[in-house]
Structure formats: C-alpha cells, structure tokens
Copies of this chain bind each other. A is one copy, B any other.
Amino acid sequence: MRIILASTSKRRKRILDQINLEFLIMDSKINEEKLKINKKQPHLYTIKMAEAKAKAISIKHHNDLVVGADTIVCVKGEILEKPKNKQQALSYLKKLSNNTHYVYTGVNILCKNKNINISFYEKTLITFYKLSLNDINYYIEYYKPFDKAGAYGIQDWSCIFAKNIRGCFYNIVGFPIAKFYNLMNTNNIKLNFNAKR
C-alpha cells in the first residue's frame, strides 16, 4: 500500500523522511479559509481540516493510504494562523511571550478500498520565555515566519523562545510522528521504510 502525504509542508516531509518512510506527496489544494469549520474546539477543527485534506486526495486514490494533517496554535482561546504581515507576526509573538500556548495537530489516515479511516489529534503545551522586542524583530526580519501558524518554527532560530514543552515535540513542528507510528502498529497497518540512507 502506497502512502500519500496530502500536504506540501516541507516540515511534515522532513519528519516523515526522518523515519525513512516511503511516501509520495500530493497537494490537497484545500482552501483553508473557505472551509467553514467551528473553531471553538481546536482539536475538532484540526481533525476536520485533516479529514478534508485527506479526502480531497483519497477520492482519486482509493488504493493508497492518504495522510492528511493540520496544525494550529492556540493562546488564551484564540487561534493564531499564519500571520499575514510583519505587524501580525509581531502581535502574535507578543501574545506568546512569557506565556503558555497549545499546539494541536489533527491527523486523518484514509484508505477507501481497505475501509481504513482513522482520525486523531495530538496536543502539546509550550511555555515561552519573555521575549525581547529586539529578538522578536530580529526573528521576523531574518526568518520571515509567514508560512507558520503562530509565526514561529521551533526547529529554527526561535528554538531559543521555548522554555518548556509538555507533550510531543514533533507535533509542534507539524506532525505527531510517534503517535502516528504507534497507531499504525496497533491497527496492523504495515509501513514501508527506505533502505537506510
């Protein structure tokens, strides 16, 4: 069974590459803004988004195992999406500074012809140090985090923002790889690995 990652996120690709998984990448072309999903329950929101992404690919690839995923950042009940500009990135990072936020990733694993349809989510708490305006401005200027929910990527320079994590680290990066792997095992779904690079 082929695995298709229904996401063009470089970060998700890198996480699946890290475990040497054989997989293809396809763009679900889901317009996240057009899907009117209730955002009051963030875990359900990410699962529904992941399901929409997986479904969009699965509809033409019945025999393949399609993996959809969606990651959001929540602070004080507010969902922080990808920042639209410098001002919004600045406002997001000020909100995250000296505060604890949540990262949710919803995942859907779908294979129509084998009746596989598994959804789950992972939640990680992250506490940030108090960030200086200098550091925030440096980060936005040099790292341009406009493609990242919450305006940061813990795998880059902003690793220095994170004081404490509770949960899965790779969930913050964009894919809860350990839970995914263990769920595949529990459900007797065989994963294929490339020869060691």
Chain A residues with a Cβ under 8 A of chain B: 15, 18-20, 129, 132, 142-143, 154-157, 159-170, 177-179, 181-182, 185, 196
Contacts and interface: CB of A to CB of B under 8 A. Distances in A.
Given A159-B178, A160-B177, A178-B160, A132 B185 contact: yes
Contacts of A142: 196
The 10 closest A-B pairs by CB, nearest first: A160-B181, A169-B169, A142-B196, A160-B178, A166-B166, A19-B157, A129-B182, A162-B178, A165-B165, A159-B177
Contact of A168 (B162, B179, B181, B182): B162
B161 A178 contact: yes
Number of copies: 2
Contacts of A129: 178, 182
A164 B159 contact: no
Contact of A162 (B19, B166, B169): B169
Contacts of A165: 165-169
B164 A167 contact: yes
A184 B147 CA distance: 30
Given A165-B169, A166-B165, A166-B166, A19 B160 contact: yes
